[in-house]
Amino acid sequence: MTLLALIVDDEAPARGELRHLLTGIDGIEVAGEAASAREALVLAERMAYDVVFLDISMPGGKGGIELAKTLAALPHRPTVVFVTAHDDRAIQAFSVEAVDYLLKPVREDRLLTTVRRVAAIRAGTAPGAAIEARIPVDGDGEETLLVDPAEVAYAEADRDRSRIALADGRVLGSPRSLRALEDLLPSTFMRIHRSQIVNLALVAALEPVGEGRVQVRLSDKNGTALEVARRQTRALRTALGLR
């Protein structure tokens, strides 16, 4: 099955770059482009697109979030993937059931992972999708276990591997690097430090720890506190709906 894609972005160069990347991926065809939410809706009402790659912020009229809500009401509801330069809108994107949240400039390998995920969803088969959505961790001996991301409180770098801290207090090793986990985890996770990614759904409090610095307090079994890098503090506050 070939996925029919619609690209929505008010910047022509951005549309062109994404079209170029998608052209190099088998099983997907760019069947339409739009420079505004209004143009996109007209096209989506005429053709049953499988996936819409959507900029989250567009001038005038509806923005990406509002358009995603409208697309969800169409008879042939397309899968939505946000492609944006903004790293602080992931929670909003997740709220409208987007399947992924790609940051510009989009990496080819990251886009390929997204296209495969969309294909599994549209095919409705999805043993492969279910596996991709889970986190591999070390079991006993050479056994590899798969963990639901919702069970993960945070992940931290361990050289070319990672440590996965679960909400129940267990800490397990993972063969994936932190960078690889960042691509695998859903948009409810956010990097708060060069070496740590946290599950925003388990953030119970944001606490000051010194001049201009904060830490997150998690609602896991251990009540874990993790310090936030200065450069990530503003984005984290925005993602949590704080000002």
**pLDDT reading at 37 higher than 80:** yes
- The CATH number assigned to the domain holding 192 equals 2.40.50.1020
| pLDDT value for 129 | 41
For residue 130, what pLDDT is reported? 39
Domain count for the chain = 2
Instruction: State the CATH number of the domain containing residue 43.
Output: 3.40.50.2300
Q: Confirm if 164 and 137 have CB atoms less than 8 A apart.
A: yes
**Same-domain check for residues 89 and 155:** no
Residues 179 and 117 in one domain: no
Q: Give the three-class secondary structure for 15.
A: helix
12 in the same domain as 124: yes
Alpha-carbon distance of 171 to 140, in angstroms, equals 14
Radius of gyration of the chain (CA): 19
pLDDT (0 to 100) of residue 128: 40
Q: Do 103 and 176 fall within a single domain? A: no
Q: Whole-structure pTM over 0.85, yes or no?
A: no
Same domain? 113 vs 8:
yes
Q: Which of 48-62, 157-171, 209-223, 225-239 has the lowest mean pLDDT?
A: 48-62
Q: Element (H or E) spanning 37, and its range? A: helix 37-46
Which of 94, 129, 164 lies at the terminal end of a domain, its last residue?
129
Last residue in a domain, options 97, 113, 129: 129
**Beta pairing class for 3-8 and 51-54:** parallel
Last residue of a domain, one of 74, 105, 129: 129
What is the rounded average pLDDT of the residues 193-222? 91
Residues 93 and 191 in one domain: no
pLDDT at 121 over 50: yes
Query: Is the domain of 157 the same as that of 93?
Result: no
Q: Quick one: 96 and 159 in the same domain?
A: no
In angstroms, the CA 122 to CA 126 distance is 9
Same domain, 112 and 152: no
Torsion angles phi and psi, residue 233, rounded to 5: -60, -45
pLDDT digits (tens, 9 = 90+) for 64-114: 888 998 998 888 899 999 998 876 665 566 567 778 888 888 988 889 988
Shared-domain flag, residues 144 and 112: no
Domain that residue 196 falls in: 134-239
Share of the chain above pLDDT 90, in %: 48
Domain match, 107 and 58 both: yes
127 preceded by a cis bond (ω within 30 of 0): no
- 17-31, 122-136, 147-161, 219-233, range with the lowest pLDDT: 122-136
Q: How far apart are the first and last CA of the chain?
A: 45
| pLDDT for res 156 | 95
Residue 181's nearest CA partner among 173, 202, 234, 129 is 173
Per-residue confidence (pLDDT) for residue 132, from 0 to 100: 45
47 lies in the same domain as 165 = no
pLDDT for the residue numbered 109: 86
Mean pLDDT of the 39-46 span: 94
